[in-house]
Chains A and B, each alone.
Chain A
Amino acid sequence: MKLRITHETGYKYETPARNLVQSLRLTPSVSEGQRTHEWSIDVTGGMRGPAFRDGAGDWIEGWTVRGPVEEIIVRIAGFVETRDTAGVLRGHREIINPLTYLRETEATEPDDALKALARDAQGSDGLDLAHNLSRSVREAIAYAPGVTEMQTTAAEALALGEGVCQDHAHALISISRIRGLPARYVSGYLHSTADGSSHDAAHAWAEIHVSGLGWVGFDAANGCCPDERYVRLGSGLDARDAAPIRGIRSGFGDERLNVAVNVEEMEQ
């Protein structure tokens, strides 16, 4: 699939902001499943700083804006060619040992309900277990936008029984780790086909490390493994750690966030 992606994140500040610093994980991963033909990142009025590939294989760019500015826009535009690898992350260069992804974080900290969910899943081998864990999460948490927030933990989402892709991913990561499977949070894009899911084009899912196969993606929110509709950006222990944008600024007052993501299939 040839996907054209545009992604704009606008911040409007109530009072002028200065010294903005951002760390962007907004460049598609390099793997067999996706090839990036064009890609550009721009922050209005900003200066590109450090840029490097980290141990997880993610391309990181730091940007700074001296300001004062009343708004900034982080603009992403590019063209990626994808193919279905049945969710398996192949040909992705990374050097972090998978065992590093066994530790739970605040967002994935298990409570009794998560432990029970983990315990009840069966599996003849790692892959089978991972599929069943993903299914359990899909059954336990219904897709419902607007119920949970950025800070909602896996335990809270499970108690609510509702959530969005971030909550599905956190819950799946949490219970996979309980079962001894390294798991991590992945952020990226999803092309919604006409038959269409209602999910945002900015998407997130989980990857579980299965011995013999390596990292395999599981999208519990959609009940599938990532295929050619998915574009992978980067990973982390949880949503915060894998965030496409982490930023800070000096200045008072609120900021208004405006996000527009568009993932379109290109004409052949």
Chain B
Amino acid sequence: MTYFNEMYDSDGKSVREPYAMLREWVETMPSDLRQMKQAEAEDLFRRIGITFAVYGEGGDPDRLIPFDMMPRVFEQNEWRRLERGIKQRARALNAFLRDVYGRAEILRAGRIPSRLVYQNEAYEKAVVGVVPPRGVYSHIIGTDLVRTGKNEFFVLEDNCRTPSGVSYMLENREIMMRMFPDLFRTNRIEPVDQYPNLLRRTLESVAPSKCKDRPTCVILTPGHFNSAYYEHSFLANLMGVELVEGQDLFVDGEFVYMRTTQGPKRVDVIYRRLDDPYIDPLCFRPDSMLGVPGLMDVYRSGGVSICSAPGAGVADDKAIYTFVPEMVRFYLGEEPILKNVDTWTLWKDDDYKYVMDNLPDLVVKEVHGSGGYGMLVGPKSTKDEIEIFRKKIEANPSNYIAQPTLSLSTAPTFVEEGVAPRHVDLRPFCLCGDRIELVPGGLTRVALREGSLVVNSSQGGGVKDTWVLSE
């Protein structure tokens, strides 16, 4: 398999424009300085306490995710195309959510099988007919992308519920700027630090119409034992809003209030980092102590906004994923700018046969799985592992999808011997409110082990600062 190396042209020798100055930077850097800086970076990360596992991968929550000092770089025109593609997808996903909780035109038109939506666990019966402010259901969309060629980008998955990792995007940049201020003086790198302000603006823009003053926004966290708690408090801090747990909020009459030292304060927008089943024991799981009793009734009557809206998860399901290009065409009348990875759905007989015949070459995932668990990477698995997985598929084919093993691009990365190519992916964070915003950059994850295609931090992945160069 050949891989696109983001640093070099196709001849493999001449350095591509965006990486030219970085090469010089690396070549002139004394090796003892590099070691010193690496130690300094780790020290900084530890001091600010950013040690959570990305994307709920599990593992030791106090473990530091390795930070690679070599930035990943995009040229302006590369980024603009990605940006258009991501925003297009975000518009289509929200249009889809509006539709399936309303008239369901796309299902009536037969473009997506009704069963996949109505029998989907993430489809919430309780919010059918509820239109959130501005018709936005998913306010923060984390789009996972991989690159396979100079102009070839694929979307691996859309995360429409509560994607995490944005604190890494911000911290990686902060640390690079502190350690290498010269790099940022001599290069024109687009900033990302406006993200918290944009996020707050986005949240405020979807306040309910019953809110007459400046909206009060809060972040609702499951608590400090959650693996992304650091990110919750980090964002609350940067946005200047309260970080609350379920017990800090209560319903009184038609609204939701927050307990404060000055008495109850009405809350208009809740950015919840809590999954649907836990947000209200009176509507969902009755045993949940993490949510706010009565919240859903207030939400459904328009007294508070919840971001993302309950039920938004039906748009990022792996079975629905295969239809996102169809959504772009159906709702926007446009051709998708970003491609989907070819996906075989195992509930179709033809696909089932193909997948079972080619397991060693494919990646097979659970429809509801995440974080690299419950999946088979054919080319990296033993015969036994493949056969065990085959049995699991046979038992419940509709629980699986399969994709070809992608040739993820590589980006230059610091290794023991100097700089070497390592495989990377990208998660930018798209904000949807009255406008759709995307800060130039995102979280780049890198598979630090040579040859590895798995970027998950639980399996040897690290993170990098991601640069978009301005004109």
Known: A21-B282, A47-B253. A54 touches B118 (CB 8 A): no
- B residues 191-229 in Cβ contact with A at 8 Å: none
Chain A stretch 99-132: residues in CB contact (< 8 A) with chain B:
99-100, 102-103
Say if the beta carbon of A92 comes within 8 Å of chain B. no
**CB–CB A54/B129 < 8 A:** yes
Whether A96 touches B128, Cβ cut-off 8 Å, given contacts A50-B300, A52-B300, is yes
Q: How far is the CA of A48 from the CA of B303 in the complex (A)?
A: 14
Contacts of A56 in B (CB 8 A): 125, 128
User: Which residues of the other chain, B, contact A50 by a CB distance below 8 angstroms?
Assistant: 254, 297-298, 300-301, 303
Interface residues of A (CB under 8 A from B): 19, 21-23, 47-52, 54-56, 60, 62, 64, 66, 95-97, 99-100, 102-103, 237, 240, 246-248
Closest to A98 in B: B118
User: Does B132 lie at the interface of the complex (its beta carbon under 8 Å from any beta carbon of A)?
Assistant: no
Pairwise interchain contact A64-B119, C-beta atoms closer than 8 A: no
Say whether chain A's binding surface is mostly helix, strand, loop, or mixed: strand
Can you list 14 A-B pairs, Cβ within 8 angstroms, ordered by A? A21-B282, A23-B282, A47-B253, A49-B298, A50-B254, A56-B128, A62-B254, A62-B294, A64-B252, A66-B252, A97-B104, A100-B123, A246-B286, A248-B281
B114 within 8 A of A: yes
User: B interface vs A, CB < 8 Å?
Assistant: 104, 114-115, 118-119, 121, 123, 125-130, 250-255, 281-283, 286, 293-294, 296-298, 300-301, 303
A21 touches B119 (CB 8 A): no
- With CB as the reference atom, state the residue of chain A lying closest to B298: A50
Ranked 9 nearest A-B pairs via Cβ: A55-B128, A50-B301, A99-B118, A62-B297, A21-B294, A55-B129, A248-B293, A21-B293, A50-B297
Given A62-B294, A99-B118, A100-B125, 6 more A-B residue pairs with CB atoms under 8 Å apart are A21-B250, A21-B251, A47-B253, A49-B255, A50-B297, A56-B125
Give chain B nearest CB distance to A10 CB in angstroms.
19
Q: Is the CB of A52 within 8 A of B282?
A: no
Identify which of A54, A66, A95, A102 gathers the most chain B CB atoms within 10 Å of its CB. A54
CB distance from A187 to the nearest CB of B (A): 16
Which one of A22, A54, A102 lies within 8 Å of B300 (CB-CB)? Answer: A54
What residues of chain A lie closer than 8 Å to B119, measured between beta carbons? 99-100, 102-103
Asked whether, in the complex, the Cβ of A103 is within 8 Å of the Cβ of B121, the reply is: yes
**Which A residues are in CB contact (< 8 Å) with B251?**
21, 49, 62, 64
* Chain B residue with the shortest CB-CB distance to A18: B250
Question: B125 — which chain A residues lie within 8 A by C-beta?
Answer: 55-56, 96, 100, 237
